[in-house]
Amino acid sequence: MPGRKSEFQRLVDAGQPTGEVTAVRRFMVQVTGLETAAAGAVVMFENGEHGWVRTVKDGIATVLTLTNEGVPIGLLVTIKTDELVVPVGKKLLGRTLNPLMHPLDHKGAILTQSVRPVFTTAPGFAERAMLDTQLETGVTIVDTLFPIVLGQRIAVMGDAKSGKTTFLLQLTINQAKLGRIIVLVLIAKRHTDVEQLIARLEAAGVRDKVILIVANIFDSIPLQYIAPYAGAAVAEELWFGGEDVVILYDDLSSHAKAYREISLLTGTSPGRESFPGDMFFAHSSLLERAGKLKSNGKTLSALPVGVTPNDDITGYLSTSLISMTDGQIVFDLATMHKGTRPAVNVGLSVSRVGGRAQARDHKALASEVSKVLARSRQAEQFSHFGTELSSEMKADFYISMLLKTLFNQEVDDLFTVYEQQVMIHAAFLSKDHPDFSVNWIKTIIHDVYNTGKQDMEPKKLAQQIMASNPSVKS
């Protein structure tokens, strides 16, 4: 603490303006004497704590404290910097940090001299390039039916405990193993959830490729609010520096609630569901910071998470998130209760730009999968009325059941796009191979791929595999 107080004194001695705390309301502090402070400036209190200037009006600065420490009335305040900046760079890889980039992992201080503003504008239209490369998640149903593109902004939506975070973990592991950097921002999460996530990353051997930024449920509301913007600043530094980066915001629903609380306490007029009128801008300006740069061809992909209580995607935050992204992967409990993992709702999910990057043969295969699933749903509806199904409908229903089994994946079951194509072709060929086993092909596909046959056409490889006549049934 003496060292922090000396920093305050150095700022005062350097001629920085000084004010005094005149009112305290939870995390919101009113300060007089800082009329020259700009909105967005960082201030330092005499006790060493920091705050962020929200507004300055009628000679009174409204400051949001960035810690949970108490700030008493009468405490002196001075301006530290004109804008909120955070340390950035590759030295953050493998670390667990709070939104101010203070270590939470007991691995020592962050030794980097580079800093970047938390709040910046997105690259302009002329600075961007077309998206053309698929982002492989390793999850068959997503990579096939709802492909994600590097540089895309796609929402991950669903009710609590519907599998959203598990999917993000699968994507993180798969992308990290492909050499890409992941920035994972956790907002209002429990300590146990964070620890479990870290343990899974370490077990997968990808912890050193992930920057974990955590604002837990016990952190101050302002710290939860700045978390995604701080994560975007960290990701942008790596992106502009020549790296493909994927940033995950888990979740923006909690972030919106933090922003609503801040806005209501600072006197902002409430709008729909008491959210402030600029709620859409707060999230859209964040997500616009993703894309592909024309200068270096590198991408920043953004996957914001939204919570949909009771599987309702028509709520204010859900529809807002859908309107500002290039598609959405929707998880729901109803699908999960049918035994499907991941519980992706095929009818509500869509990737608006995914087809642009998907290989032609994979796109054709995905079209066939969609048709079979649609026809099988129709056949299932007919069967409820006791209608006798035609042989074609029975075949579609049989293949759809194999595909659904194929789409079921545990966290550690990740497949390349090529492996996915081979397995799907095998499912379509199953009508000539009654002993075909989905579980069997999942077990051997990695070994087959590693034998150097990845240059073979997927359908031909599937035919070779089917000819081996597995004896274990699904």
Residues with catalytic annotation? 352
Alpha-carbon span 43 to 82, nearest angstrom: 9
Q: What are the tokens at 337?
A: 């209760």
Using alpha carbons, select from 89, 38, 45, 35 the residue that is nearest to residue 66.
Answer: 45
Alpha-carbon span 326 to 434, nearest angstrom: 41
- In this structure, the strands spanning 28-32 and 85-87 are unpaired
CB-neighbour burial class of residue 274 (10 A; exposed 0-12, middle 13-18, buried 19+) = exposed
Say how many CA atoms lie within 13 Å of 337 toward its Cβ: 5
